[in-house]
């Protein structure tokens, strides 16, 4: 198994755990559980609770799309397809810092997240995925160059 496949497999395993948390324990503060958001635990009314539940399940469903596509790529994809999948993962994961991170930082500063400082933890976790995929990509490219 090469570096690209290992990185993809690690992502699949971690995201599968996150999907399980979102579907079965959405109020958890582990993984991608939304229990860190005070508004999720204390909705003002039934409409907000249902809307939050809908969004949590929608996010879990989108994560499943990534997981299943990456599984197909891992099982039957060529090295070139895996390489471009890793590039696509880098680009898609990096969008977190464009829209989501500024919002969660504001919520954290407003005291809307428990534990305080969670936005930094999540930012480092997302950065960890970016670092992992970058190292796998660079390592793969170096191995290709060495073979030539």
* Domain-embedded: residue 62: yes
For residue 93, is it within any domain? yes
| Residue 54 is assigned to a structural domain of this protein | yes
Inter-CA distances, 62 with 22, 44, 52, 57, 111, Å? 11, 27, 15, 9, 28
> Rounded to 10 degrees, what is the CA torsion of 4, 10, 15, 20?
150
**Mean pLDDT of each 10-residue bin along the chain, 148 residues long:** 95 96 93 88 86 94 96 97 97 96 96 93 95 97 86
Can you give the length of the chain in residues?
A: 148
Domain count, the chain: 1
Q: Answer yes or no: is 148 within a domain.
A: no
Which residues touch 39 (CB under 8 Å, ≥6 apart)?
48, 52, 112
33 within a domain of the structure (yes/no): yes
Q: Would you state the pLDDT for residue 41?
A: 82
**Taking the complete model, does pTM exceed 0.85, yes or no?**
yes
| Separation of CA 113 from chain center | 19
What pLDDT, on the 0 to 100 scale, is given for residue 148?
67
Six-digit token string for 130: 């970016």
Q: In angstroms, rounded to a whole number, what is the distance separating the alpha carbons of residues 132 and 140? A: 12
63 in any annotated domain: yes
The reported pLDDT for the residue numbered 66 is 94
- The boundaries of the domain holding residue 62 are 3-143
């Amino acid at each position: 198994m090469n570096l690209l496949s290992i990185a993809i497999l690690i992502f699949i395993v971690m995201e599968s755990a996150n999907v399980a948390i979102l579907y079965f324990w959405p109020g958890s503060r582990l993984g991608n559980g939304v229990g860190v958001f005070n508004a999720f635990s204390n909705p003002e009314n039934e409409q907000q609770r249902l809307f939050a539940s809908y969004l949590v399940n929608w996010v879990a469903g989108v994560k499943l799309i990534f997981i299943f596509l990456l599984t197909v790529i891992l099982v039957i994809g060529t090295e070139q397809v895996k390489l471009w999948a890793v590039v696509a993962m880098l680009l898609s994961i990096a969008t977190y810092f464009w829209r989501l991170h500024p919002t969660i930082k504001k919520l954290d500063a407003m005291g809307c997240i428990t534990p305080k400082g969670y936005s930094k933890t999540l930012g480092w976790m997302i950065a960890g995925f970016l670092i992992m995929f970058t190292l796998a990509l660079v390592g793969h490219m170096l191995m290709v160059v060495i073979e030539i």
